[in-house]
Amino acid sequence: MMQELIGRIVTTAGLPPDKAEKALGIVLTLIQTQGNQNKVQELFDKLPGAAELARKQGGDGAGRGGGGLLGMMAGGMMGGPLAAVSKLTAAGLSMDQIKALGTTTLDYAKENAGAQLVKEVAGSIPGLSGYV
């Protein structure tokens, strides 16, 4: 299921597949670490492969498994989304590609998990609620 989304990101953001997969992993990790845990679990249950991709691609080497003290310090208001944008930029994505990645991922999630659930998850992440 994630391969379909990666394919859409390749098309809309103009990224090679490996870079699209890495970028999606960063976004999924943001959702997994910053969102309301019950809602994130519900969302990931409806997006098979999402949790695995977040685990595989999302690790930045700083304390495997995400979070930890560094994650908490970077958290705060807007910490998560800003950190994700930094990681995406570091991975070689332009702002236009990051926007295309975000829009494509949100649209795909709405199609497969329902707009209400996506809205609840995004609304639980500071800085993302304005995008749904």
| Structure tokens belonging to residue 27 | 């976004």
**In this predicted model, what pLDDT tens digit does every residue of 10-37 receive, in sequence order?**
999 999 999 999 999 999 999 999 999 9
- pTM, full prediction: 0.83
pLDDT of res. 126: 79
Read off the pLDDT band of 69 (50, 70, 90). very low
Residue 119 half-sphere exposure toward CB, CA atoms < 13 A:
4
Res 40 pLDDT > 60: yes
Read off the pLDDT band of 61 (50, 70, 90). very low
31 vs 91: CA distance, rounded Å: 18
